[in-house]
Structure 1
Amino acid sequence: MDRVLHAGAASVSGGLSPISLGLALADWGWHLATQPANTGRLALSAQQHALEALADCASGNCSGPLAEDPRFRDPAWHQWPFAPLARSHQAAQHWWQDASQLRGMTAHHTQVLRFFAQQWLDMLSPSNSFFTNPEVLRRTAERQGANLVEGALNRLDSWRRRHGLEPLTPPEHPYLPGVDLALTPGQVVHRNHLVELIQYAPTTEEVQAEPVFIVPSWIMKYYILDLSPHNSLVKWLTGQGHTVFILSWRNPDENDARLSLDDYLELGVLDPLAAIARLIPDQPVQACGYCLGGTLLSIAAAALARPGQVERAAQLPKLAGVTLLAAQTDFTMPGELGVLIDESQVELLEDIMSERGFLTGRQMAETFQFLRSRELIWSTRMREFWLGERMQPNDLMAWNADVTRMPAAMHSQYLRRCHLHNQLAHGEYPVEGRPVSLGDIRQPVFCVATELDHVSPWRSVYQLHRLVHTELTFVLTNGGHNAGIVSEPGHARRRYRQRRMAHGAHWTGPDEWLDAAEARQGSWWPAWHDWLVEHSRGRVPARPVPEGLEPAPGGYVHVRYHD
């Protein structure tokens, strides 16, 4: 009965735990009430911020830090009467950043309060309102209100898509896998209940001896790494002379509610590795994991490396190296997602999932939208609904809309074992009843992080240096969680830093590493290829792809649900 009650209440609270926010507010309120001097300082600070904003605008100095905020780039924001609104809004943001951190508050409650204060401020921004946005008012006057009519149609279109109805204006280019995306030729060579294993056709006469096995995250469709031909990592790797395998995760339904993290490890990594061993016997494998796929791969590598795994390891190919792309192994600093994860929130998610046996793709997508609401919700809606501009879809946006589900048991275990208890970093993560340690991994590691990643912050990814005791090449590239990884050669304004730490090297903090790492222009892909070649046994004749179960992109990628 409690679970049903909580799940019903979650529909009102947007899937967020009101208890988590209430505890954070109580922590802040009690400390504020017992710090009268600090309360007085904050009251004076609020007055000072307001007076400074008005004084600057009255004197004609209305620009200030507004230029740094993309919402206020229009020149009209620097003029009366809109400048005081924008400056006051920014002053409120600075004040809350200060006010939300009181002596004695827990770090998590400070983060929660600061995050939700920013969410409210972003919602109340003058850029979101018709009457206080000069760009909208100017566009309405120029077009005699036509933009508002187009915006109303965009609102209706958005509502129809959200409820699974056909849009009023179907996109000219729908970007469908197998039609516009995921076009690299290959075959599904192995399938189990959870994944399809795709092997891609070679495009060179010779290939590196070690095949590359890629484990994408289970919260995304695999073709993020095989988008359009010009930015497909899979296509680029085959063009460089690599034999490439990749997993395509099945989109689970209510019958998969009891699938566990152990099932994901067995069916998603170990069973496909055994299939590769049968297809290409007596060859080590270069294993690569992206996002949660990297976390899962690191668990598998640690499990296979620990003592007592001789019999199981004999059935699988050896790992020649491990590559982790935007993958966390230490969840001490999980970034913005960590703000929404505590005991109360996880319990609420478990209650929500108990209704249907899974977390819906829409719920997962809305969580990530909530984390970046300024860019993904408010700024987008302003342009679509008030300016009447229709977002032009591209391959990355189409992939992002192709959401997947999370089985209840697996998702609960992941949140508790990794985020709440950080078992992998502490050497406590259990595999077959025994804990694993990343320190047992002896293969060289290539790790990529991205500067603007809000899912796997680069300083969190960097903590891998503390956990492994082997050669580690760390790369920091510009861009975010997806755009930083899908960073093909020739893409404008790409750059990265790279530094290799030898086995047994002393600990170097992330900021010290940043100062010492070599800065390079261009994509990080060629650097990875060079690393793969360096750790290869050499080249062999290209391996033809055997007749498989069906051509790539396979069947699992097409499974979609309207939740």
Structure 2
Amino acid sequence: MANTQPLVPELVDPQVLLTTLQDIFQTSHRVAQHLLSQQAEKMDRLTVETDPLNVQEAFVQLNQKLLANPSQLLQAGLVWWEEYFKLWENIWQRTLQQDVAPLFKPAKSDRRFSHEAWDNVPLFDFIKQFYLMNTLWIQEIVSSVEFEEQHAKNAKKVEFYTRQLLDALAPSNFVATNPEVLYVTIKSGGANLLSGLKNFLADLERGQGQLNIKMTDLAAFQPGKNIAVTAGKVIYQNELMQLIQYTPTTETVHQRPLLIVPPWINKYYILDLRENNSFIKWAVDQGHTVFVISWVNPDERLSDKGFENYLLEGPMAALDAIEWATGIKEVNAVGYCLGGTLLATTLAYMAAKQDQRIVSATFFTTLLDFTHSGELDIFIDDEQLSALEATMNEKGYLDGSKMATTFTLLRANDLIWSFHVNNYLMGKEASAFDLLYWNSDATRMPAKMHSFYLRNMYQKNLLKQPNGITLNGVGIDLSKVKTPAYFVSTQEDHIAPWEGTYQGTQLFDGPVKFVLGGSGHIAGIINPPNKNKYFYLTNPKTKSTKNPETWLKSAKKQEGSWWPDWAEWVREYAGESVPARQPGSAQLPPLEDAPGSYVQVRVIPS
């Protein structure tokens, strides 16, 4: 290691030690009592369900196929031994300080092995490379197995859960094989592990018996105080949403307002975290009269709210309220992720009603054709959906923590294991980070709505089919939508893969522009121009190019944020300049200051 000072354990202050132990004892007692009460409840409603994720069948099929081809296993074993001896030779050469590159390197985005000891100390260099060698070897074996077409989803499950296991077994996750943790443990006399145990028990208690990893300082933020602070008023509300109108920052504004429909899987203020990265604030500064739907965080009282309720009490109700507030019928609309799916559904509903109040539509990372829905697809089959529906029907809603866990698994190294090391092994407190606070601010989903969405869109992919679904007596046909549309997706999106979102551009009858940004589902969208980060790709031949890879090959790259490109595009539909409008009207007097009260309801306490 670079630090050559002797590792002399520090003496722990007896009073600090006593206080920590008392906290651990008291928290352990509370957690144990809660777990016992939970166990009693479970015994009262014991079921025979032992595999709710329906994983066992996939791995049984994998084992059967591997055992049916022993020559393949033998060849894989020979490859392993060959790689193993090469690794020993490589480590020996590096130990002798020969100018030899490591055989196995982590990806540039992999921060687990960033400490210098992973490269400079031969023992940890070997541990790192041995782990990476085995990871690659196992993944190659798993990916080489061919599943029948009807079991293609099982192939995805095997690859996904194999990766989860390999991530969990990384040497960075254990005290004895993580050089940074080992150094701190010896130096502090184990005080870091004591603090880590305290953090672990606190996370168990906050999650009411389930581990809820603290990713950020939950007391450091509060919507309306230091996040979601763009000035505005709640001008309308119903059971499902509050409608916020923002205070203008320009003397004149575009004639047509801008309506933003966020997803209800998360809270809207991802679009309004801080002033310097707020899409909402930026849009207001561009002269738009911005309205945002802030969805309710539902409980069992709203269990019977369906997808059509979200349509009627969401965008449709918002359009009426905007007209009452501004006197203007026509708007430009933006939908983010599931909010975009709802927006597209609303456009088809309005097309059937010959309602033309939305003159342009923008879709952020939105799936309309769910053929290529990414790794979330592995959670969508009859067995898992039936188990999920049973849980939802019991409570009347899907617990927000369940959905948060699903998304967290998609990026386990970043959102689970990095905090395991920081919080539990290093014994550190989570730092204050606005994005992670938002990510931890989970929302529930009404049982009826969420079941409809997962069954009809994710599983059966009926939204893309003309009249495949019916809402409020109206067949939904996206091919009837003539509204000009702007699609923006991101190359590294793990929730809505851009190849899948691109397919949505082929479903509308009107003019379409597709833009592909850098980074992922959040960072690629929340990318203000002043950051000068990432890039975006454009290609005017979207409508005539059905294949996304073909579109990509001839796309033109632009550095920086796509926001100005969108601003130029939407300006064509924004109308003339008019005097700036203050929130509300005589017909709709403001109810409260933004961000409103709906957004303040938390599933898990801070």
**TM-score calculated relative to the size of structure 2:** 0.84
Deviations 1:405-434 (A, max 9, x none): 011111111110111100112231222344
Which region of structure 1 is more displaced relative to structure 2, 375-384 or 114-123? 375-384
1:103 aligns with 2:138: no
1:29 aligns with 2:63: yes
1:114 aligns with 2:159: yes
1:554 aligns with 2:588: no
- Aligned residue type for 1:251: N
Which residue of structure 1 aligns with residue 452 of structure 2? 413
- Aligned residue type for 1:162: G
Match of 1:148 among 173, 190, 193: 193
Change (3 A) 1:100 1:415: same
Which residue of structure 2 aligns with residue 227 of structure 1? 273
Cα drift, residue 47 of structure 1: 3.1
Tell me the secondary structure at the aligned position of residue 443 of structure 1. coil
Cα drift, residue 56 of structure 1: 2.5
1:125 aligns with 2:170: yes
Change (3 A) 1:419 1:52: farther
Deviations 1:218-274 (A, max 9, x none): 111111111122211111111110000000101111111111111111111212112
Which residue of structure 2 aligns with residue 387 of structure 1? 426
1:269 aligns with 2:315: yes
1:471–1:501 contact (8 Å) kept in structure 2? no
Match of 1:73 among 103, 107, 114: 114
Gaps of 5+ in 2: 1-41, 95-99
Which residue of structure 2 aligns with residue 345 of structure 1? 384
Which residue of structure 2 aligns with residue 163 of structure 1? 208
1:372 aligns with 2:415: no
Cα drift, residue 279 of structure 1: 2.6
Which residue of structure 1 aligns with residue 75 of structure 2? 41
1:544 aligns with 2:578: no
- Aligned residue type for 1:103: E
Change (3 A) 1:498 1:389: farther
Cα drift, residue 75 of structure 1: 2.8
Q: How far apart, in 2, do the equivalents of 1:8 and 1:440 lie?
A: 49
Match of 2:255 among 209, 215, 225: 209
Q: How far apart, in 2, do the equivalents of 1:431 and 1:445 lie?
A: 22
Change (3 A) 1:32 1:235: same
Change (3 A) 1:262 1:333: same
Tell me the secondary structure at the aligned position of residue 332 of structure 1. helix
Deviations 1:446-505 (A, max 9, x none): 111122211111111111232223221212222221222111221253322223347xx4
1:480 aligns with 2:526: no
1:439–1:469 contact (8 Å) kept in structure 2? yes
Tell me the secondary structure at the aligned position of residue 463 of structure 1. helix
- Aligned residue type for 1:273: L
Cα drift, residue 62 of structure 1: 6.4
Tell me the secondary structure at the aligned position of residue 536 of structure 2. strand
Which residue of structure 1 aligns with residue 7 of structure 2? none
Which of 1 and 2 has greater Rg?
Answer: 2
Tell me the secondary structure at the aligned position of residue 446 of structure 1. strand
Q: How far apart, in 2, do the equivalents of 1:22 and 1:172 lie?
A: 37
1:303 aligns with 2:346: no
Which residue of structure 1 aligns with residue 547 of structure 2? 509
Deviations 1:322-356 (A, max 9, x none): 00011111111111211222111111101111221
Query: Identity percentage over the alignment?
Result: 36
Which residue of structure 2 aligns with residue 178 of structure 1? 224
- Aligned residue type for 1:417: N
Cα drift, residue 214 of structure 1: 0.5
Deviations 1:277-334 (A, max 9, x none): 233334421011011000010011112113xx13xx2xxx611100001111111111
Deviations 1:32-90 (A, max 9, x none): 23333333333333333433333332333562332423212223223422223222222
Change (3 A) 1:131 1:338: same
Change (3 A) 1:304 1:462: same
Which residue of structure 1 aligns with residue 533 of structure 2? 493
Q: How far apart, in 1, do the equivalents of 2:179 and 2:45 lie?
A: 42
2:104–2:133 contact (8 Å) kept in structure 1? no
Tell me the secondary structure at the aligned position of residue 422 of structure 2. helix
Cα drift, residue 5 of structure 1: 9.2
2:218–2:437 contact (8 Å) kept in structure 1? no
Change (3 A) 1:149 1:480: same
Aligned length: 546
**TM-score calculated relative to the size of structure 1:** 0.90
